[in-house]
Amino acid sequence: MLRTAVLVSGGGTNLQAILDAKRGGRIPHAEIALVIASNPSAYALQRAEQAGVPGTVVQKAKDEAVEAYGERLLAVLRENRIDLCVLAGFLTILPENVIRAYDHRILNIHPSLIPSFCGKGFYGLRVHEAALARGVKLTGATVHFVNEIPDGGDIIAQKAVAVQPGDTPGILQRRVMEEAEWLLLPAALEDVARTIENGGN
């Protein structure tokens, strides 16, 4: 079983989906070994505690060099013998030293169909605002590996969600979570963990 860390910054509904899937036996190849929050007030930490998963905070200090922050993060990952990372609403840009150390071992969920509405500046409600402003009829979510290009790594899984008349960014965000993100992320985690355990890449 691959020791997996979930990195979070906020509410943690995607973390919850992973924890629920794990409890339901749908992620047999990964153990949720650690939750790392980018700030101490992330509600996701409470979800981790309720599930009996250790949680910790690794916060980038304002004037801290990116590489130094990356080293601190890597130290926590290594101390906990983490094989695989999942970014589930993690808002801090990952330093390159972390990305290099975990090449094709870090998954991210993005709430659009990449390559639409992704990259620098596209996070949270902004993604859905942009989709509505462009008038797309389909949006969705993407799970991809993390590389040095924001939202630019290899795509693992995608799921489309219909835009409905009268949608607001908030309504659309909720539908994308319910119909795509919360299903896609646990399933992608299991797929990747199983592939690695079976000797794939």
Residues in contact with ligand GRF, counted by CB under 6 A, come to a total of: 11
Q: Which residues in 139-198 contact ligand GRF (CB under 6 A)?
A: 181
Contact 3, 85 (CB under 8 A): no
Q: State residue 117 phi and psi, 5-degree precision.
A: 50, 55
Determine, following the binding rule CB under 6 A, whether residue 89 of this chain makes contact with ligand GRF: yes
Q: Which residue is nearest to ligand GRF (CB)?
A: 89
Strands (E), the chain: 2-8, 30-37, 55-57, 84-87, 106-110, 138-145, 155-162
Instruction: Confirm whether 29 is a catalytic residue.
Output: no
Q: Give the residue among 111, 96, 90, 124 at the shortest CA–CA distance from 6.
A: 90
Q: Does 111 bind ligand GRF (CB under 6 A)?
A: yes
Query: Which window, 12-20, 21-29, 55-63, 95-103, contacts ligand GRF (CB under 6 A)?
Result: 12-20
Q: What are phi and psi of 158, to 5 degrees?
A: -140, 150
**Least distance from C-beta 195 to ligand GRF, angstroms?**
22
Given the residues 29, 110, 128, 144, the one annotated as active site = 110
Q: Which residues are part of the catalytic machinery?
A: 110
- Chain residues that interact with ligand GRF, rule: CB under 6 A: 10-14, 88-89, 109-111, 181
